[in-house]
Amino acid sequence: MNRKDSIEKLKNILESYDFRFANYQEIPQFVFDQIPCIRLIKYKKKQVDIDYKRYVWLKKNLSKKVKKVCEIGSNIGYFSSSLAKDYSFFVQAYEPNNLYAKVSKIISNLTKLDNRLKIYNEGINLQNIKKLDSHDLTINLNVLHHAGCSYDVALFKDNMKWEDYVISYLKKLSTKSNYLFFQTGNMMKGKAIFPSIKVIDIFKNIFDKSGWKINNIGVINNLDTLDYVSYLEKDIPKIKLYNCKRDKMNNKVAYYYDKKFVSHLTTGLAQRPLWFCQKVNKR
């Protein structure tokens, strides 16, 4: 496919595609810089606009030992393509949605990242973690709260608890990666898996049980700037999260701080902490 046809195919997908997880990621700035005409594509992101903020936080936490990266649930490839471009890392990205994977491959080809960014149109469930290559860093952003709904449904029919599933999943990932960049939501099928306000304590326990040491936690304290503030594990008692709930009047998410209303955002993504963890090496 020539360059003109690739751009036209990218335009057709991004402008016509619409389903539950559509328009969750932004297109990286370097793509617009290299291919200015892509700015004309009518692609409007529906999620809270913090991909760049999350990426900045990730870069601050990257170990110099990272050379190989795996992203599970890569969407249209904001993080995987940005890392391949900025650091010349070798990146393997797994995305089960066919059109998202196509968008990622087109962008990778147009920006000449094909030699170090490999995109696979498949998901990684609990059983096929074992097929992954070993990597220095695994990225898993807002995937695991879909377990039991979008994938690994059969396991939950056998009454597996979500927290036990996550511990098993992350424990298996620790056999494949030294570092983990992680974020998750708390809703499954419209119901809360756990109270979002308790996510820090819940995941501290999950990481302890799954073989990961918390190096840093990123939290948004200001909804105007949407910048992440970093906290060490010892600083957990100092962390104060927003409380969120869906406002039925406008279908947006209302953010509260100390029980006082602060703002409405399209989703609760800005309340979810970022985690950068390191595998605990067994002696």
The DSSP secondary structure of 139-203, one letter per residue, reads: EEES-GGGBTTTB-HHHHHTT--HHHHHHHHHHHHTTTEEEEEEE---EETTEESS-GGGHHHHH
Task: Tell me the C-alpha distance between 25 and 156, whole Å.
Answer: 28
The alpha carbon torsion through 255, 259, 260, 263 (nearest 10 deg) reads 0
**Separation between Cα atoms, residue 145 and residue 220, nearest integer Å:** 20
The identity of residue 21, as a single letter, is F
- pLDDT given for residue 179 in this prediction: 98
Amino acid occupying residue 282: K
Per-residue model confidence as pLDDT tens for the chain (283 residues): 799 999 999 999 988 866 555 678 999 999 999 999 999 998 877 778 899 999 999 999 999 999 999 999 999 999 999 999 999 899 999 999 999 999 999 999 999 999 999 999 999 999 999 999 999 999 999 999 999 889 999 998 777 899 999 999 999 999 999 999 999 999 887 788 999 899 999 999 999 999 999 999 999 999 999 999 999 999 999 999 999 988 989 989 999 999 999 999 988 999 999 999 999 986 5
The type of residue at 154 is A
Longest dimension (CA), the chain: 55
Which residues have a Cβ under 8 Å from the Cβ of 77 and sit 6 or more positions away? Answer: 25, 93, 95, 103, 104, 107, 108, 117, 119
